[in-house]
Amino acid sequence: MIEYKGYVSGPIDFDPEDGTFSGTVAGLADVIHFEGSTREELLSSFQGSIDDYLAYCQEVGKTPDRPFSGKMLVRATPEQHRKAFLRAEAEGISLSAWVSRTIDAA
């Protein structure tokens, strides 16, 4: 996985005939493609494709598609919700902070 400016790569494929690696940015409705023959070329292409996409969006007045907003709905049973709330409360933090910390630890 490659990350740049909050965007992350999806799976990276290898074409043995061309000797190139290629991929797309994950989690977007828009398609951002990148490719390269070496690790350095792949990374440069990934970053350049994102920079080009952001510049294009600015040029045409479009809001860039973002892979993740930072907001998510978690479906849990009432018992799981209660347990998580009580753990967060016992640790003196909000439920959101507890969930975020638990995800970071995963």
CATH class of 3-60: alpha beta
Give every residue of the chain whose pLDDT is below 50, as ranges. Answer: none
Residues of the chain with CATH 3.30.160: 3-60
Long-range Cβ contacts of 5-11 (<8 Å, 24+ apart) = 5/50, 5/54, 6/66, 6/67, 6/68, 7/32, 7/50, 7/67, 8/67, 9/34, 9/46
Residue-level pLDDT at 66: 87
Q: Which residues pair with 11 in a beta bridge?
A: none
Neighbours of 49 (CB within 10 A): 20
Residue-level pLDDT at 72: 83
Rounded Cα distance between 35 and 42, Å, is 5
